[in-house]
C-alpha cells in the first residue's frame, strides 16, 4: 500500500510517495509540472524512473506515462459516462486498464479485464489530504502509481477550470 498527499499540484511542491510505514518509495518533482507540463518520478536514490506528461493536442484529457524512457501507457478520459468519470489506461498490446468510481473524491478502482488490480481510497486514513493506493500483488506498481498521478493532474485541471 502506498500513501499520496493530494492537491500538491496547486502548490507545485515536491513530495514523496511512501509505503504504509512512511518510508519514501518515490520522489515526485511537482515543480516540473508547472514549468513543462510533466511530472517526474524518482527512486529514493534520485534516479528518474518515470514521467507523466499531458498531451496538448488531444480533444479530451490525455496523459502519457513513460517508464525508463519508453512509453508505458496513455491515459484518456472517456467523453461521456453517466455514473462518474472513467479513464482508460491504454498500455501497449492487450490488457488495458480502466479507472472508475468516484474519482474526484479518490474512491475508485483500477481494473483489467473485470478484475481489480488496484484500489484508491481516502477512507483508510484519517489524514485529510492523504489517500492510499493498494496495488494487487504481481501488478506494475510504478505504472499504476504514475497513472493515479495523471488522474490527479486531470482532476486538478478540471477544478481550476470551474
The predicted-structure confidence for 4-42, as pLDDT tens digits, reads as follows 876 554 546 678 899 988 899 999 887 656 555 678 999
pTM for the full model?
A: 0.86
The predicted-structure confidence for 136-161, as pLDDT tens digits, reads as follows 999 999 999 999 888 877 776 665 55
Indicate the SS3 state at residue 91: coil
Could you report how far apart the first and last alpha carbons of the chain are, in Å? Answer: 32
Using the structure block, give the residue that is written with the C-alpha cell 480502466: 98
Using the structure block, give the residue that is written with the C-alpha cell 500500500: 1
Q: Which grid cell sits at 120?
A: 484508491
User: CA-CA distance, 53 to 40, in Å (whole number)?
Assistant: 9
Amino acid at each position: 500500500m502506498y500513501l499520496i498527499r493530494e492537491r500538491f499540484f496547486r502548490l507545485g511542491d515536491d513530495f514523496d510517495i511512501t509505503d504504509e510505514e512512511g518510508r519514501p518509495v518515490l520522489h515526485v518533482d511537482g515543480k516540473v509540472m508547472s514549468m513543462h507540463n510533466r511530472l517526474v518520478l524518482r527512486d529514493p536514490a534520485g534516479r528518474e524512473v518515470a514521467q507523466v506528461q499531458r498531451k496538448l493536442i488531444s480533444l479530451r484529457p490525455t496523459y502519457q506515462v513513460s517508464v525508463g524512457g519508453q512509453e508505458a501507457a496513455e491515459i484518456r478520459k472517456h467523453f461521456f459516462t453517466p455514473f462518474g468519470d472513467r479513464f482508460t489506461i491504454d498500455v501497449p498490446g492487450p490488457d488495458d486498464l480502466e479507472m472508475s468510481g468516484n474519482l474526484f473524491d479518490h474512491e475508485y478502482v483500477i481494473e483489467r479485464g473485470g478484475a481489480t488490480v488496484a484500489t484508491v481510497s481516502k477512507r483508510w486514513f484519517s489524514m485529510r489530504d492523504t489517500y492510499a493506493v493498494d496495488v494487487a500483488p504481481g501488478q506494475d506498481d510504478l505504472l499504476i502509481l504514475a497513472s493515479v498521478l495523471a488522474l490527479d493532474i486531470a482532476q486538478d485541471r478540471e477544478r481550476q477550470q470551474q
